[in-house]
Every structure is written in C-alpha cells, then in structure tokens.
Amino acid sequence: MSQTTRTLLKVLVEQRGWRYVDFERHFRRAAAEILDGSARNLTVSESQFRRWTSGRVQTLPAPEARQVLEHMFGVDSVSLFGPPPSPALPAPAFNLEDEISMTAHDAQREASATAAESISDTTLDQLREDVTTLARGYSSTAAFDVWRRAKELREAAETERDRTQVPAQKQELLILAGQACALLATAAFDLGSMDGARRLSRAAALYGETARFDPLRAFAGGTLAYIAYFQNQPAEGARLARRAQAFTGLGDVARRRLAAIEARALGYVGDVPSARRALDVSRQEGSGLTDDLHDEVAGEFGFNAERLAMSNSSTCLLIGDAEGAEAAAKRSLELAAAKPAAVRSVKVVGGAAADLAMAWLLRGDLDRAVEVMPPVWEVPRGLRSPGILARTARVRRALAGAQYRAAPRAIEVAERIEDFTRVSDTHQLGHGAGPLAALEG
C-alpha cells in the first residue's frame, strides 16, 4: 500500500473522537461479536493503532483483524487503509444505533468502575426492600422458599459490603446481612434443623453486635431461647430470654416477644408463679416505644397481638390453666379473623385452634375440641413448623389417654393428626420427631 499520511480509518476515528483506549475497547467488543473461538480475544496494541491511523501500513492486517475493522466501520478494509474520499464525497456512513448502544454500555461500565468504592443508594434501597418483603411474607411462605431467598439476600449483602468503603453503607449492609441470617435461622427451625437454627441465630447476633444494632441481637437472643425450649432445655431458654431483655433500644413489641418466650420456658420448667409474672409482662401495653426491626421491618421480626395471644395460650396449657388457655386462644382467633384473608397467618390460626382444642380436652369436652380443629387442617404442609406440630402432637397424646381413647371421634382426629404430621415438610426432612417433646408433656 502507498505511504499515505492520512487514511480513511484515521478520519473515521477522528470523527468519533476516539483515543486509543476507546478504539481498543470497541475493537475487542466487535471481535467478541463476530469471531469464534480463541480469535474472540483478538485485540490491538497501541503501537499498532498508531501505525494503522498514521498511514504507515505497507500491507493489510491479518484476515481476522480486517473482519473486525469492517464490522466496526461498515467499510471494506482496502478503503479503510486508503486515502479518505474527496471533500465533495460523503464519508461512509456508520451504524448510529450500534454506536449509541456501545457508548451506553461503556458509560455504564465506566461509571460502575468509578463508583467501585461505594454502592448506589438504589442498590441499598433494593436490598432493604427485599429483606423487608421476605420478613413480612414469612407467615405465608414455605420455609424452604424463605431459606433459599434469605440465603441469596445474605450473600448479596456481603458482596455489596465488600464493594463499599463508606462506613454508613457498611453498617447498614451488616444489619441487612444479619436480618437475612436471622430469617435463615427461623427457616432452619421451621424445617426442623435445631442445630442449624442455633448456629445461624448466633451468627445473626454477631452481625448485630458488629453493627451495634441491639434490636437484632435481642431478636436472635429470643430465637436462641425458643430453640433451647424446644430442645428440652427450658431453664436455659428462660435465661437466654432474660438476657436478651437487657439490650437497650428495644421497643414494646420486642419486649413483649421476649417476655412471652420467657413465660413459655418457665411454664415448661413448672415455675408457675414466675411464668404468670412473665405472662403479665407480655400483656402490658408498654410505653409506646418502637425500634427499627420489630416495628419498622416487622413481619417475622414483629410479634402482633394474635401471635402473642397464641403463644400465651400454650403457656397457660403448660401450667395447667385451661380457662386461661381457652381465653387466650379465642382472642388469637378473633384478632386473626378481623384481618383480611390476604394478611392472616394460617400458622397462627392453626396453632391457636390446636391450643383451643387442647383446652377443651382438659375440660373434658371432646365434641367442642373436635369442632375447633378444622383451621389446623388448612395449614399447608410447607407451613407446618415444629410449633404447630408440637401443638397437634399434644392434642393427639391427650386423645390417646384413658378418657378418650375409645371414642370414635377421638380415634378419627388422632389418625388425622398423624397424617397431618407425616406429610409435613419438616417430618419429610427427618426432623419431625425431635422437637415435639417440649409441648407433649
């Protein structure tokens, strides 16, 4: 080729305002689009770029390079390395749509690189919203689905925490990762994995400690107390619940939850006076205090009135107070019934119904006990957590006692409870039997 000092290639590059880095980036992208195999990694050095645009090329580039250049500019390679057309002739057209698309992708990637030491508010907002949505939808979501999503969210929060150097963002991402970890713990519990739930609860507490966010530490402490109770360690459960109540910055909901868990553990121990005192604390209206986890995020982190009443009905059963259990279970069912079906927890309704049936059995009324059981059967298999399985196991044990064992209705309900447990996801995973003892006694 001739020693032309100015080529069409140079003119086209100048029209686009490309420097070497711009040219090389577009060249690599074009190579990836049109070439196969190892040739897709084709690139061009800065010295080669200078030769191509200076007119010092004696022979045309290799075939792959020519293909890439022709794809980039829509002009054959011979014309590219020849002189530009005369001023009277229009320069060859280029694909404006491709140019805009490539520029937009480049700008997006470079903007992300520029912001590498922080993350966007949009990313943080989305993570916060996703964790909140999962927590609020927990009661109507199968535990395995919660597990899978919470795992993704914790990993996403950790990934973003590695990207940012902004202290405020790091702290919030720690809190979000901790909230996801707390949901993982609850899902593990509902799936029957007590050891996994305990480890994850401790991890959530560590997240809260690192982030200096006491509501998360208190929630994790309450979960640890609940797990201890279900593992036949009620004294340890009561101790953990009391310790969690010592954290500062907790709202009334958090304190009611911890008092209810303490009451349940004390009831199982058989310390009736202390259990009644804890029950009274859990029912107190409080002083209107709130916190950012139990009240703002709420959902599984909350502890609404019907859930509190259901928990207290179980405690009353443990201390032999059938009348108190009946009143609390009925209150739970009434509060739940007043809510729209879309936000009503079938787990709470089923648990309260089982407690109400047990209260009637303690009072010698089999017919009424059978009549209140239908909400139990409506709990989907994926939502049959150890809590509701323990409640139905207690009913089944009572039906097998001398007072009822010969009654046809008692036999029918007992068999139905057996089927209810057998097909639950928790039982299918092989964890259905262990934690039930806590409520059978």
106: tokens are 């480049």
Other beta carbons within 10 angstroms of residue 266's beta carbon come to: 28
Tell me the C-alpha distance between 185 and 200, whole Å. Answer: 5
Residue 176 counted as domain residue = no
Count of structural domains, the chain: 2
Domain boundary among 97, 114, 131: 114
Tell me the C-alpha distance between 162 and 155, whole Å. Answer: 11
Q: For residue 48, what are the domain limits?
A: 8-114
Rg (CA), the chain: 33
Residue 210 counted as domain residue = no
Residue 301 counted as domain residue = no
Other beta carbons within 10 angstroms of residue 260's beta carbon come to: 27
Domain boundary among 91, 114, 137: 114
Tell me the C-alpha distance between 173 and 154, whole Å. Answer: 9
Q: According to the 3-state scheme, what is the secondary structure of 212-260?
A: CCHHHHHHHHHHHHHHHHHCCCHHHHHHHHHHHCCCCCCCHHHHHHHHH
Residue 356 counted as domain residue = yes
- Name residue 397's amino acid: R
- pLDDT tens for the chain, 441 residues long, are 444 457 888 888 888 888 888 888 888 888 888 887 656 678 888 888 888 888 777 788 888 888 888 888 888 888 888 888 765 444 445 556 655 666 666 566 555 655 557 889 999 999 999 999 999 999 999 999 999 999 999 999 999 999 998 999 999 999 999 999 999 999 999 998 999 999 999 999 999 999 999 999 999 999 999 999 999 999 999 999 999 999 999 999 999 999 999 999 999 999 999 999 999 999 998 899 999 999 999 999 999 999 999 999 999 999 999 999 999 999 999 999 999 988 899 999 999 999 999 999 999 999 999 999 999 999 999 899 889 999 999 999 999 999 998 999 999 999 999 999 988 877 555 544 344 444 333
* Secondary-structure breakdown of the chain: helix, strand, coil percentages, each rounded to the nearest 5: 75, 0, 25
Which residues fall within 8 angstroms of residue 191, CB to CB, at 6 or more apart? 143, 144, 147, 425, 426, 429, 431
Residue 401 counted as domain residue = yes
Residue 248 counted as domain residue = no
What's the predicted TM-score (pTM) here? Answer: 0.71
Which residues fall within 8 angstroms of residue 281, CB to CB, at 6 or more apart? 255, 256, 259, 263
Domain boundary among 114, 137, 171: 114
Q: How many CA atoms lie within 13 A of 407 on its CB side?
A: 19
Residue 69 counted as domain residue = yes
Residue 104 counted as domain residue = yes
